[in-house]
Amino acid sequence: MIEIRPFAGLGHADHGWLDARHHFSFASYHDPARMGWGAIRVWNDDAIAPHTGFAPHPHRDMEIVTYVRQGAISHGDNLGNEGRTGAGDVQVMSAGTGIVHSEHNREGETTTLFQIWILPDAPGGQPGWGQRAFPRGDRSGRWVTLASGTPTEDDALPIRADARVLGASLAAGGRLTLPLDPARHQYLVAPVGRIMVNGQPAAPRDGVAITGESELVVEALDDAELVLVDAR
């Protein structure tokens, strides 16, 4: 089963400094048919104005993956972690028993990013944060695991969930395949480029919800960038 969720139909909240699209119910956007997808609970498509950001706020019992598309995001938390994550790179936060953090765009340009929340396999645990550079050139024509519940096996940032976050880039006319477990849930977004997903067309920033499939075949109609989550 593959369902294309057009970008224009996503939840939308424009706060002035933050222009957010919600693939799943979040904050004031509520759709009982879109409360999540398997263990994927949130996928927000955010544009953050220069020199603005999220004031300190708490999280717990959630794995939060931030994929920066343009600009950079600067993180700080009550554990003393600080860092700047630039375009193409990824940060992860395991909220565990509780963490308070802030995120700011300290750049002179708009920062765009995906923020993806995945339910952990079990509640609790020591909270933590990390980041890593993932050069876009290394993903050309192939899937690269960015965050994983088996980080040593996948050479990726660690998350405490039976899930993987993958990235890839494809030149126009290129094609990528990926074997899937039909019992699991996948969610795919191409932030750039038109694609075909198992023969179905998807426009840039559309959501593609997948389950029950044994193989994923992505064809690029334009130069495209891909972000995929595979979860229980």
Both structure tokens of 48: 């953050």
Phi-psi region of 46 (alpha: psi -120 to 50; beta: other; left: phi over 0): beta
Q: Provide the pLDDT for residue 129.
A: 98
In tens, the pLDDT along 6-39 reads 999 999 999 999 999 999 999 999 999 999 999 9
Q: Which run of H or E residues covers position 152?
A: helix 151-154
Q: Mean of the pLDDT values across residues 58-70?
A: 98
Strands 157-158 and 144-148: parallel
User: What average pLDDT does the chain have?
Assistant: 98
User: How many Cβ atoms are within 10 Å of 33's Cβ, its own excluded?
Assistant: 6
- Give the angle 203-209-212 at the CA atoms, nearest 5°: 135
Q: Provide the pLDDT for residue 89.
A: 97
Residues in the chain: 232
* Residue 60 binned pLDDT confidence (cut-offs 50, 70, 90): very high
Both structure tokens of 71: 């600009």
Q: Provide the pLDDT for residue 187.
A: 99
Residue with tokens 């048919």: 33
* Residue 81 binned pLDDT confidence (cut-offs 50, 70, 90): very high
Q: Mean of the pLDDT values across residues 208-216?
A: 98
If you ran DSSP here, which 8-state letter would residue 199 be given? T
Q: Is the domain covering 2-231 a CATH 1.10.10.10 domain?
A: no
User: Could you give the CA distance from residue 21 to residue 11 in angstroms, rounded to a whole number?
Assistant: 5
Q: Provide the pLDDT for residue 79.
A: 97
User: How many Cβ atoms are within 10 Å of 154's Cβ, its own excluded?
Assistant: 17
User: Could you give the CA distance from residue 101 to residue 77 in angstroms, rounded to a whole number?
Assistant: 4
